[in-house]
Amino acid sequence: MDKLKSSRRDFLRGSVGIAAAGTAALRVSSSIASRAYAAGDETIKVALIGCGARGTGAASQALKTRGPVKLWAMADLFQDRLETSLNNLTKGQQADYDREAHEGFSAKIDVPPERRFVGFDAYKQAVDSGVEMVILATPPHFRPVHYEYAVKQGKHVFMEKPLAVDAPGVRQILAANEEAKKKDLKVSVGLMFRHNTRYQETIKRLQDGAIGEVAFMRCYWNTSFLRDTRPRPADMTEMYYQLRHPYHFLWVSGGYFVDALLHFIDVCLWLKGGHPVTAQGQGGRQFRLDTQHGDTFDHHFVEFTFDNGTKMFAQTRQISGCWNSASAHAHGMDGCADIGRGRIEGAGKWRFRGPVPNYYQVEHDVLMDAIRNNKPHNETDYAAMSTMTAIMGRMASYSGQVIRWGDALNSKRSLAPERYAFDAAPPVVADKNGYYPVAMPGVTKVL
């Protein structure tokens, strides 16, 4: 535990001027944010910002927590997505990641047309609509600015992972989080395995020495091809198209290595108690070779090295017909472990056999309990560390170079567009034949 705290302190110190680079000290009173709801009878009003499948799932879980909760406002870039989400929540359609189809939350939803906000500034209107808590579930490119504004306005937050798509975004998150701590805001991040009892018990046993000193770890998120490949309508602007297909584009989603594998990278960092110091790897585009598929790689393999020489091997792939796995493993001098399955082999052989509550729900239960009873709760620092580790790995894969932690964290290379509007130019555009530029290891610069 002391090692973990030390590593977090090093992480927060690691960027040049992170604290200074953030927003100026905010003077909004934190009395509302930090007050206790101990009686359990005060309604907590929630705004959902980002109304896709994951946002809808997060909203349903927030509405299932103990005590009175009301969905008060909704915001999205797209009207149809907002209305679909509202309909599903009201009438009882099963939400993404919701293990049990609910019967609808009509009694807990009060989102009239005047509190349904659409567009690039919709998040501000939702945050300012009179809520105590916000759910941030847009594509991760927007997470830093949305979190910064929610903190400025003194709101408790549940935000999905990853927390950013580039190093400037991570630094913006960290600076905003220093203000969140000053205001005693409660913050959860959607790295739900941290709330899974099987993972918790397995990690504890490994940290207690069940396999001896950990020599290396490996993690995977290998799946079949997942992405929508429908042709782009001729009348759709490039910006609109890219925002409707975020997983095709690096600047919107961070790429599959960051967006998906982050879950198991986080598990490995949880076990290790800190971040790696270097990354080197490889990747490319093997399967998605036609147009419409944006600028992201479809496979990566990255070797991370920690300051004591421990390795972490991270692999992700989206290619049909291949071996699939979504898992994290640890190897030591006295055995090995499949962390997700709760299995340890070797001298400390053990298998988890206890119950596993719905950990998507548990993370919201924990957050709401912290809000109602004014308990310390902020998951941002470790989520930012894991996000930055994934970004560093992507940098290594896209460039073919060894990337060092300090260089990655302090990189000024931003993936943001110059202007946010549906008629604006996004950071990448297709050529006359419809192909988007894709990184070339050995040529592409990432720092």
Closest by CA to 75, choosing from 131, 154, 148, 144, is 131
CA distance 229 to 289: 12
Q: Are 329 and 264 in contact (CB under 8 A)?
A: no
pLDDT tens for the 447 residues of the chain, in order: 444 445 555 666 555 454 444 333 333 334 444 455 544 569 999 999 999 999 999 999 999 999 999 999 999 999 999 999 999 999 875 545 454 445 578 899 999 999 999 999 999 999 999 999 999 999 999 999 999 999 999 999 999 999 999 999 999 999 999 999 999 999 999 999 999 999 999 999 999 999 999 999 999 999 987 666 667 788 999 999 999 999 899 999 999 999 999 999 999 999 999 999 999 999 998 876 666 678 999 999 999 999 999 999 999 999 889 999 999 999 999 999 999 999 999 988 999 999 999 999 999 999 999 999 999 999 999 999 999 999 999 999 999 999 999 999 999 999 999 999 999 999 999 888 888 999 999 999 999
Ordered domains of the chain (ranges, CATH)? 2-193+361-379 (3.40.50.720), 210-355+388-409 (3.30.360.10)
CA distance 275 to 266: 10
CA distance 295 to 248: 7
Residue 289 is predicted with a pLDDT of: 64
CA distance 58 to 69: 13
Residue 432 is predicted with a pLDDT of: 86
Closest by CA to 92, choosing from 110, 111, 72, 107, is 107
HEC string of the chain equals CHHHHHHHHHHHHHCCCHHHHCCCCCCCCCHHHHCCCCCCCCCEEEEEECCCHHHHHHHHHHHCCCCCEEEEEEEECCHHHHHHHHHHHHHCCCCCCCCCCCCCCHHHECCCHHHEEECCCHHHHHHCCCCCEEEECCCHHHHHHHHHHHHHCCCEEEECCCCCCCHHHHHHHHHHHHHHHHCCCCEEECCHHHHCHHHHHHHHHHHCCECECEEEEEEEEEECCCCCCCCCCCCCCHHHHHHHCHHHCHHHHCCHHHHCCHHHHHHHHHHHCCCCCEEEEEEECCCCCCCCCCCCCCEEEEEEECCCCCEEEEEEEECCCCCCEEEEEEEECCEEEECCCCEEEECCCEECCCCCCCHHHHHHHHHHHHHHHCCCCECHHHHHHHHHHHHHHHHHHHHCCCEEHHHHHCCCCCCCCCCCCCCCCCCCCCCCCCCCCCCCCCCCCCC
CA distance 241 to 132: 33
CA distance 414 to 402: 20
CA distance 249 to 241: 10
Report pTM. 0.92
CA distance 160 to 167: 17
Q: Name 376's Cβ contacts closer than 8 Å, sequence gap at least 6.
A: 184, 370
Closest by CA to 342, choosing from 363, 327, 323, 332, is 327
